[in-house]
Amino acid sequence: MKGFFAILLILSFVFSSCGLAKNSDEENINDLILELRDVLMSTYETGEENEDVKSSITPLFWYRDVSQSDSIDYKIRIDVEGDSAHALITGIFPGVLNLYYVNDSLDTALCQKNFVDTLTRSVVFSRDTLKEYHGGWRVAKITGAEISTENPPAMSIDSVKLFKEGVIDTVITGIDLYFPRNEIISLPSGESIEVTLYSPDTTGFFYIHSAFRRSKLSRGETFYFGTYRVPLIAGTYRVAFDGISEYSLLETDSVYSAYGWMLPYKSE
């Protein structure tokens, strides 16, 4: 991971040092994506704090980590038409699920499951700003990020509602819907936001990930519900709604499979 970001920083330096006037539109846009990589090129946090998941046969706790042998790979496809451009960002994230559970001897055991998640996100750019700034290009609209292990995924999400009286009342009906970059959801720092997630899946588990913390959503008849707290420190964060198949966490000899939506938001 550290090596990957070092490469990004080197590339960013090389692009900028060459002079914007000499760069192509694709190079300027790629440079802009790298500058905004915290929003546009990110996936689930790793090694995050967690709430214990307990039942008669459920593991004590689990967390995901990046692979130590395989590197993260990004592919960026850019299509330019006049003063507009579209970029499709695809990230390949090899990782390992660390699953701690109580075995038949009542000892704590570790099961590790390797996986490869794929992230996709779209970005629309407009060329209408200063030529000195990335050749005049700026980010106009972005989508959320879709993350999945399998294609088609074993889990699915129909919609997600975020609610807090007097603060927010919005329903996200699709992760591929565009929104203006300057209209990223803003939430008061420290607020507890109610989340209702609608999914036809009734056997798996859904979690909320935000600011290196994870909490499990409770299951209703046709939906899942829970809360997450906005960080106290102002800044741009991301929240992920993450579905993990039942066999990923309840069976040691089954493969890992997950599906999630991820959105940027601001704590103010």
7-62 pLDDT, tens digit per residue, is 333 334 334 444 444 789 888 998 888 888 877 876 665 555 454 443 334 578 88
Torsion of CA 189, 191, 194, 197, to 10 degrees: 20
Find all residues with CB under 8 Å of 170, minimum gap 6, and list them.
161, 162, 163, 185
CA–CA gap between residue 195 and residue 203 (Å, rounded): 19
Which ranges in the chain belong to alpha helices (H)? 2-17, 25-35, 37-40, 246-250
Residue 202 confidence (pLDDT): 83
Instruction: Give the pLDDT confidence of 214-238 residue by residue, as tens digits.
Output: 889 999 888 999 999 999 999 989 9
Q: pTM value?
A: 0.81
Find all residues with CB under 8 Å of 135, minimum gap 6, and list them.
20, 23, 25, 28, 127
Burial 175-209 (b: 16+ CB within 10 A, else e): beeeeebeeeeebeeeeebbbbbbbebeebbbbbb
The token duo for 81 is: 């038409």
Instruction: Give the pLDDT confidence of 233-258 residue by residue, as tens digits.
Output: 999 899 999 999 988 888 888 889 99
